[in-house]
A and B are shown apart, each in its own frame.
Chain A
Amino acid sequence: MLDGFWLDVKLFVIVEAAVLVVGLGLAILRSSRAPAVFPLRLITAVYVDVFRGIPTILLVYLVGFGIPALQLSGLPTDPVVLGGLALGLSYSAYVTEVFRSGIRSVHRGQRDAALAVGLTEGQTMRHVILPQAVRRVPQPLLNDFVALQKDVALVSILGPQEAFRIAQIVQGETFNYTPLIAAALLYLAVTVPLARLVDRMEGPEGVVR
């Protein structure tokens, strides 16, 4: 089961890293005021609405069984890759909104001051808005981290033998629920330290220094 859990952890780390990058990028796009990016902003808004609105388990099914069914060459067929892709699509939508709320929480006077010293819109975002925005979002981000870490178990419906799947199999063979409890403890072993880490990073006002 440890091997299975190792797969969970690897998948979680890779997907989470991708989700952070994609989410931040999309949040910047959604928060941009430049008229040139209006079409992109619209696409981002639709993306968030759609992928936040579909149950993650349904997305895993759709991507995991749907993409191979298209039988197109060049598309991945590995269930782990497809499962990770589905999770990434879903969680990027959530994380985009987390970053966007962080960006929106930065006082408007900060933008004014940055523009007044002669920065461009892009420089204002990069040097003034974003550094403040990302300090305000670790708690909501952690919520999504923990949810993702647990939802990695959904990949099991595509076949890969990750911890939950293995626990189920063992339980099915032995009628003993201990493996499921062991799997639950394995998940906790990752999510609880994660929560403490964020608590430690944050100062008393809930802002990361």
Chain B
Amino acid sequence: MSTAAGAVVLEVRGVTKAFGERRVLRGIDLTVREHEAVALIGASGSGKSTLLRCIDLLEEIDDGDVFLDGETITDPAVNPVGVRRRLGLVFQAYNLFPHLTALQNVVLGERRAHGASQAEAEERGRALLARFGLAGREDDRPDNLSGGQQQRVAIARAFAGRPRALLLDEVTSALDPELVGEVLEAVRDLKGEGMTMVIATHEMSFAREVADEVAFLHEGRIVEQGPPSRVLSAPKREETQRFLRRIQAN
């Protein structure tokens, strides 16, 4: 595959994470190359969200390392703020700032984290909102927007910081079925631009379409990984087969 030749952007090595007695991640290894989209699939509670939160340093890992462009970002000496400015994270529940307008949501990070001027940040914010089909909604508060619109604002917000990699945490799971398409369209758009992405998802057809790699998480481990055509159509492991059967039955 042509993408396999790209430089490694993210590397996760032997990462473990427990919440009390519950061992959520039991030794994760994952490599994400430039322009590559890796889909994380697996049942709820398999550790997909936790892995993304650990990569973005919102959770502290217990063991292992995460590298971003070769730098060990999980080293305690590394300032997590600087790392998060190089990554983007989109949440399942959007997590927009309810007291700010759509435009202000997108601009806040540009202004405060990346030091852009207000005019600069607003110009770019408007362009991003327009790009994701939100022209004319700049001054709306999140509670005046549909779920699909909110999630597209959230994607614009995460993308505004020009991240090296975008982490998407089940970005369509909270949406009504008829709104899923517009959000997936936004992700497809980013993929077309060559954005490096890690996508936790339950949408198998979408994973098949945009992902270069699919990694199946089961009880805190990646038990199977490969191109979507193989993992999703001809899974080797029994856990993967069982998971895909259950998803299809729904």
Contact = CB atoms under 8 A, between A and B. Distances in A.
A136 to B, nearest CB: 11
Contacts of A70: none
A118 B91 contact: no
6 contacts: A112-B58, A112-B91, A116-B91, A117-B108, A117-B161, A123-B112
A109 B154 CA distance: 13
A52 interface: no
A131 interface: yes
A112 B169 CA distance: 13
| A-B complex: 10 closest residue pairs judged by Cβ atoms | A118-B113, A117-B109, A118-B85, A113-B95, A116-B89, A109-B95, A131-B99, A118-B84, A123-B112, A120-B81
Nearest to A107: B95
A67 to B, nearest CB: 43
Given A109-B93, A109-B95, A116 B158 contact: yes
Interface of A: 107, 109-110, 112-120, 123, 127-128, 131-132, 135
Interface string B43-79: 0000000000100101000000000000000000000
B51 to A, nearest CB: 15
A118 B97 contact: no
Given A109-B91, A119-B113, A114 B97 contact: yes
Contacts, number: 61
A113 B84 contact: no
B221 interface: no
B157 interface: yes
Nearest to A130: B99
A115 B80 CA distance: 9
A118 B99 contact: no
B58 A110 contact: no
B84 A116 contact: yes
Interface string B154-192: 000110110000000000000000000000000000000
Contact of A132 (B88, B98, B158): B98
A1 to B, nearest CB: 44
Contacts of B99: 131-132, 135
B109 A118 contact: yes
A93 to B, nearest CB: 28
A106 to B, nearest CB: 10
A14 B53 CA distance: 46
Interface string B97-117: 111000000001100111000
Nearest to A108: B95
A113 B109 CA distance: 10
B96 interface: yes
